[in-house]
Amino acid sequence: MNPGSKADVCAVVVTYHPDPGFPDRLDRVRPQVGRVVVVDNGSSPQAREMLRNAAGPDVGLILNDANLGVATALNQGVRHVMGSSCRWVLTLDQDSTVEPFLVEALLEAYNDFPMKEDLAVVGSNYYDEKRAKTLVPESPAQPSCLEQTTVITSGSMISVDAYARVGPFRDDFFIDHVDDEYCLRARAMGYKVILCRRPVIRHSIGGAVGKRILGRMVWSSNHSAARRYYMARNFLWVAREYLFSRPGWVTLRALRHAGFLLLMVLLEKERLGKIKSTARGVRDGIRRMPRGDVAG
C-alpha cells in the first residue's frame, strides 16, 4: 500500500459546545488534509452559527439535533467520506491543537512501519500542556513509530479499508473507551496499531486540576460526573471482553482507574456526585455483557 499524500486523508472533527478558539484550531487542520468534516452533537444555536461561519464551502458540516455521543458522531463522519477517495480518516477532538506537520509525521510513521498492510490505526504522540509533559518521550535514536495496544482517538489516522472490516465505533459506548475498544477489536482481528513518536498535537485529558503533595505535583483529570459513569461502565465492558486475550492491558488499566478514583477523591470538587456516578457505572458494567455482534 502506498503511503499516499494529504489528499488521501480526510479529517473528522467532533464538536460539542465548542469554545471561540475552535475556528483557529480548525484552520490548522485544513491545509493538511484533502477534506474536513465537522460533526456537531447538539450544540447551542450560537455555537452552530460559529461552526457555519468557520466551515465555509470547503468543510462538510453535520449538525445533530442532540448529543449522540462521540462514537456515533465519528461513525457519521467516517461514513460521510467513505465514498470519496480518502483512504485515511484523521479523527480529532474539538480542543486538540494540531502541529503543522501532523499529517506529514503520521504518514512518515506509516511508511516506516514494516507491516503496512496490517495497519488499522496510526496514533499521535501528544504534549499535555497542563502537565507540561509528552505522552511518550521523543528520541532521534529511536524509530519514528512504535507498536501499541491502544491509542487515543484525537490525532489518530484510521485506515478506511480496516474500518470497513473491523466495523464501526461502538455507538453504545457513547464516549469513554471508544478508542480502546476499537483498537482492541482491530488487534483481535490481526491488525496493528502504532503510535507516531513525534509529538504532533497539543492535548489535555479532561479539565485537569493539580496539587503539590510531598513536593511532587500530582494531577487529576477532573472529568464530570457523567463522564465518570461512562469511564467505569465502559471499562468494565472492555475488561470482560478482553480479560483473557489482553490480561496485561486490562490489569494495568484497572490499576490506573483505581488511581484516578483516589486522585478524584483527594483533589476534585463535587466528589459525592462523581462517586455516585462511578458506582452506577460499575453496577451497569457488571450487569450487562458487551454486544457480541459489533463487527458484523
Q: Alpha carbon of 102 to those of 92, 106, 206: distances in Å?
A: 12, 6, 22
Q: Summarize pLDDT for 162-193 with one digit per residue, the tens.
A: 999 999 999 999 999 999 999 999 999 999 99
Q: What is the pLDDT of residue 49?
A: 96
Task: Tell me the per-residue pLDDT of 94-145, one tens digit each, with 9 for 90 and over.
Answer: 999 999 999 999 999 999 999 999 999 999 999 987 777 888 887 777 888 9
Determine contact, residues 149/187, Cβ cutoff 8 Å: yes
Helix H or strand E segment including 53: helix 45-55
Residue 289 has what pLDDT?
A: 58
Give mean pLDDT, residues 224-252.
95
Position 142 scores a pLDDT of 83
The residue among 98, 184, 196, 189 whose CA lies nearest residue 147 is: 196
**pLDDT number for residue 290:** 55
- Residues with Cβ < 8 Å from 6, sequence gap 6 or more? 32, 33, 34, 103, 104, 107
d(CA 190, CA 204): 31
| Sequence ranges of the domains in the chain | 6-202, 209-287
Q: Summarize the confidence of residues 79-102 as an average pLDDT.
A: 92
CA-nearest of 76, 43, 42 to 60 is 76
Portion of the chain with pLDDT greater than 70, in percent: 95
Question: What is the band of 206 on the pLDDT scale with cuts at 50, 70, 90?
Answer: low
What DSSP line would sit under 253-295, residue for residue? HHHHHHHHHHHHHHH-SSHHHHHHHHHHHHHHHHH-PPPS-TT
**Mean per-residue pLDDT of the chain:** 90
Cell numbers 480518502 correspond to what residue? 86
Q: What is the distance in angstroms between the CA of the first residue and the CA of the last residue of the chain? A: 25
Q: Which CATH number fits domain 6-202: 1.10.1040.50, 3.90.550.10, 1.20.120.80, 3.10.180.10?
A: 3.90.550.10
pLDDT > 60? residue 38 = yes
Q: Is the pLDDT of residue 1 over 50?
A: no
